[in-house]
């Protein structure tokens, strides 16, 4: 079945919803989301949004803190752009209906988090992301020009190059009756056949997870807002939907991706057998909670004596990792017992109530915590208007690599980036949409998905086994601390897994689990390739064999493109 729309947005987090609300004023919008519309990383965000709002702060300080956290790889023009448009982003959210907490005098209540030299994190207590997600979802659905497709997953992008190959292969199939193994996406986006990348994006193939149907959604403008990739790792703070879909779809389509070795591990996720990816906000440390080991000793004094618990996330995560290896313990503890109960319930009601469900009274007992994969600092290469290498294809939010985060994201800059880059994207789309639509109308219509010859996958173990192997491999070999031997072993072991997955991919009817497995396999290899290339330690990438930062050779982005990779 073929569907046409003015704008196709894949993903329903803060960036996708905010942009969708604005685009609905000028055309018809289809928003595709893998599960329910609120199953996003935005919903889980506790901390807030960084924005200069106090008299002792300044935009220059925000820029300085962002550059420092990014460890030499931030693109200064983008950092300046985002910091300067932060107040506008906050005002836009408030216009839509988001209400940030304020003090009695009417000024914003501001948290301070690791890496920030001032209090500048606006919040809704520790429900910030959940509140923003709820308001944006409601406003988006207020429009009559929006179709929200829940429980739908994008399979791959449709490009001019794919359409051209479809008709070439169709002619070949018509001439050769034995040519019966062709599927619409069988070429697997191999652009070496054309000598150049496709001219533009024409939409995407989208799988209805409920019934297995694959729709051809054609659009002159497609926006990837698919979020992060934490599920590539065994332990993560991310929701189940975070499988890096947008990043690898763009890569398969010929777009550049960059800095995928810089996976940020959040230092403090709740360690409990029944707790799933529950984050303990950095703001708790910002208020004075201390990290201690099983003997009650404050160990950050050994690893970062100047900044202690308020060091940047990469520093704190490595310190916890080293402390666990030194002691042999399963977790460390975040001690908030110095605070009064009224203060905790007022400032951190979500953390308090959630921990209480697991039998932990954080006013009386230290919180067991461990690091977990949290944020992808790299992603699809975009310009300052969120445009990718492929005409008609934009990327916003965590799946994009704008240059803001560099080697390590400053806390609470992610939600800010999502809104600012959505504003930037709308500005460019508004000015270019007529030209893009004219070009779109001149192209052949995208063909429908052809699954002839494919059969049902009756053995789910083919998916679950490889899924588990990949995530354990990435955690053990490509985690917080890496070395050359483990990275090369990871590459060697991933290769046959990818061959197996890609082989089965064309034999069986697609399911959402199968699509996600293919994506985490491809993304895992891209992370490994990037980590092998970078012969230094910087930000979220720490290699024991290259422990020093090497500005002369490596103060640059790690850029990968489809035809330059080993698979």
Whole-number pLDDT of residue 567: 61
CB 205 within 8 A of CB 185: yes
Percent of the chain with pLDDT over 70: 92
Alpha carbons 256 and 382: distance in angstroms, whole number: 9
Is the pLDDT confidence value at 542 over 80? Answer: yes
Alpha carbons 122 and 109: distance in angstroms, whole number: 7
Maximum CA extent, the chain: 79
Residue 194 pLDDT level (bands cut at 50, 70, 90): very low
Look at 437 and 564; give whichever has higher pLDDT.
Answer: 437
When the pLDDT of each residue in the chain is averaged and rounded to a whole number, the result is 88
CB 227 within 8 A of CB 234: no
pLDDT tens profile 408-422: 999 899 999 999 999
Q: Any idea how long the chain is?
A: 567
Alpha carbons 565 and 188: distance in angstroms, whole number: 14
Alpha carbons 516 and 507: distance in angstroms, whole number: 16
Q: Could you tell me the strand order of the sheet in which 332-335 lies?
A: 263-270, 367-376, 332-335, 290-292
pLDDT tens profile 42-58: 998 877 999 999 999 99
User: Which domains does the chain show, CATH number per domain?
Assistant: 1-232+242-261+387-448 (3.50.50.60), 263-375 (3.90.700.10), 455-564 (1.20.58.100)
| CA angle, 432 then 435 then 439, to 5° | 135
- Picking from 220, 160, 217, 162, the residue whose alpha carbon sits closest to that of residue 187 is 162
Calculate the CA 62 to chain-centre distance.
22
Look at 567 and 410; give whichever has higher pLDDT.
Answer: 410
Whole-number pLDDT of residue 191: 31
Dihedral sign for Cα 261, 266, 267, 269, please: negative
Alpha carbons 143 and 153: distance in angstroms, whole number: 23
Residues whose CB is less than 8 angstroms from the CB of residue 316 and which lie 6 or more positions away in sequence, other chains included: 114, 267, 268, 291, 300, 304, 309
Residue 566 pLDDT level (bands cut at 50, 70, 90): low
From first CA to last CA, the distance across the chain in angstroms is: 32
Whole-number pLDDT of residue 183: 29
* Bridge pairing between strands 110-111 and 121-122: antiparallel
Alpha carbons 126 and 139: distance in angstroms, whole number: 22
Q: Strand locations in 189-230, DSSP E?
A: 201-208, 214-218, 221-224
Residues whose CB is less than 8 angstroms from the CB of residue 306 and which lie 6 or more positions away in sequence, other chains included: none
Percent of the chain with pLDDT over 90: 69
Task: List beta partners, residue 263.
Answer: 376
Whole-number pLDDT of residue 441: 79
Q: 295: how many CB neighbours lie within 10 A of its CB?
A: 8
Whole-number pLDDT of residue 166: 54
Is the pLDDT confidence value at 477 over 70? Answer: yes
Whole-number pLDDT of residue 85: 97
Instruction: Compute, in degrees rounded to 10, the torsion defined by CA atoms 381, 384, 385, 387.
Output: -20
Whole-number pLDDT of residue 440: 80
In this structure, of 147-161, 393-407, 415-429, 503-517, the range with the lowest mean pLDDT score is 503-517
Whole-number pLDDT of residue 372: 92
Whole-number pLDDT of residue 314: 83
pLDDT tens profile 485-532: 999 999 999 999 999 888 888 778 889 999 999 999 999 999 999 999
Q: At what angle do helices 512-533 and 461-477 cross, to 10 degrees?
A: 20
Calculate the CA 3 to chain-centre distance.
27
CB 222 within 8 A of CB 204: yes
Residues whose CB is less than 8 angstroms from the CB of residue 265 and which lie 6 or more positions away in sequence, other chains included: 313, 314, 317, 371, 372, 373, 374, 479, 480, 540
Residues whose CB is less than 8 angstroms from the CB of residue 238 and which lie 6 or more positions away in sequence, other chains included: 41, 44, 227, 228, 229, 230, 231, 277, 373, 374
Q: What is the mean pLDDT of residues 351-360?
A: 91
Whole-number pLDDT of residue 173: 42
Is the pLDDT confidence value at 454 over 90? Answer: no
Q: What is the mean pLDDT of residues 523-542?
A: 96
Alpha carbons 184 and 171: distance in angstroms, whole number: 13
In this structure, of 83-92, 355-364, 453-462, the range with the lowest mean pLDDT score is 453-462
Dihedral sign for Cα 341, 344, 347, 348, please: negative
Phi first, then psi, for residue 398 (nearest 5°) are -65, -25
Is the pLDDT confidence value at 112 over 50? Answer: yes
Alpha carbons 222 and 425: distance in angstroms, whole number: 11
Look at 307 and 423; give whichever has higher pLDDT.
Answer: 423
Is the pLDDT confidence value at 59 over 50? Answer: yes
Whole-number pLDDT of residue 246: 97
Helices (H), 233-340: 245-252, 282-286, 300-303, 313-327
Is the pLDDT confidence value at 168 over 60? Answer: no
Residues identified as active-site: 313
Whole-number pLDDT of residue 451: 74
- Picking from 185, 158, 231, the residue whose alpha carbon sits closest to that of residue 516 is 231
Look at 195 and 8; give whichever has higher pLDDT.
Answer: 8
Is the pLDDT confidence value at 182 over 80? Answer: no
């Amino acid at each position: 079945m073929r569907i046409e729309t003015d704008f196709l947005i894949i993903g329903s987090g803060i960036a996708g919803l905010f942009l969708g609300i604005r685009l609905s004023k000028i055309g018809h919008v289809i928003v595709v989301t893998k599960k329910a519309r609120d199953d996003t990383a935005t919903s889980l965000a506790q901390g807030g949004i960084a924005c200069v709002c106090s008299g002792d702060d300044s935009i220059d300080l925000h820029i300085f803190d962002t550059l420092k956290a990014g460890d030499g790889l931030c693109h200064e023009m983008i950092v300046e752009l985002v910091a300067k448009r932060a107040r506008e982003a906050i005002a836009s959210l408030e216009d839509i209906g988001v209400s940030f907490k304020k003090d009695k005098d009417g000024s914003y209540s501001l948290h301070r988090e690791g890496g920030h030299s001032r209090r500048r994190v606006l919040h809704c207590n520790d429900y910030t992301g959940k509140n923003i997600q709820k308001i944006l979802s409601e406003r988006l659905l207020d429009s009559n020009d929006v179709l929200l497709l829940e429980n739908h997953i994008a399979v791959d992008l449709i490009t001019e190059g794919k359409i051209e190959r479809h008709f070439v292969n169709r002619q070949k199939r018509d001439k050769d009756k034995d040519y019966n193994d062709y599927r619409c996406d069988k070429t697997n986006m191999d652009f070496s056949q054309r000598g150049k990348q496709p001219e533009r994006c024409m939409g995407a193939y989208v799988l209805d997870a409920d019934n297995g149907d694959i729709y051809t959604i054609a659009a002159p403008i497609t926006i990837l807002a698919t979020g992060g990739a934490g599920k590539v790792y065994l332990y993560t703070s991310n929701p189940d939907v975070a499988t890096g879909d947008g990043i690898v779809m763009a890569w398969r389509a010929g777009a550049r991706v960059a800095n995928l070795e810089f996976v940020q591990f959040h230092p403090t996720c709740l360690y409990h057998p029944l707790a799933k990816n529950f984050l303990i906000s950095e703001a708790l440390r910002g208020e004075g909670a201390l990290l201690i080991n099983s003997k009650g000793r404050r160990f950050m004094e050994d690893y970062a004596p100047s900044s202690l618990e308020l060091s940047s996330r990469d520093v704190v995560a490595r310190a916890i990792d080293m402390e666990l290896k030194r002691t042999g313990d399963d977790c460390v503890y975040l001690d908030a017992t110095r605070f009064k109960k009224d203060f905790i319930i007022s400032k951190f009601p979500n953390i308090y109530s959630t921990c209480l469900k697991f039998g932990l009274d954080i006013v009386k007992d230290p919180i067991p915590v461990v690091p977990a994969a949290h944020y992808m600092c790299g992603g699809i290469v975009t310009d300052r208007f969120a445009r990718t290498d492929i005409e008609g294809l934009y990327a916003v939010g965590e799946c994009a690599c704008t240059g803001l985060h560099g080697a390590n994201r400053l806390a609470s800059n992610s939600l800010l980036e999502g809104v600012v880059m959505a504003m930037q994207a709308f500005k460019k789309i508004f000015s270019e949409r007529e030209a893009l639509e004219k070009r779109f109308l001149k192209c052949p219509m995208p063909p429908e998905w052809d699954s002839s010859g494919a059969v049902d996958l009756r053995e789910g173990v083919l998916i679950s086994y490889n899924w588990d192997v990949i995530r354990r491999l990435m955690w053990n070999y490509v985690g917080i601390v890496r070395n050359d031997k483990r990275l090369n072993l990871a590459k060697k072991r991933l290769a046959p897994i990818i061959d197996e997955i890609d082989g089965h991919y064309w034999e069986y009817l697609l399911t959402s689990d199968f699509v996600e497995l293919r994506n985490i396999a491809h993304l895992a290899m891209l992370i490994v390739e990037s980590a092998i290339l970078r012969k230094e330690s910087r930000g979220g990438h720490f290699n024991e064999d290259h422990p020093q930062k090497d500005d002369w050779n490596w103060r640059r982005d790690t850029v990968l493109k489809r035809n330059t990779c080993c698979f």
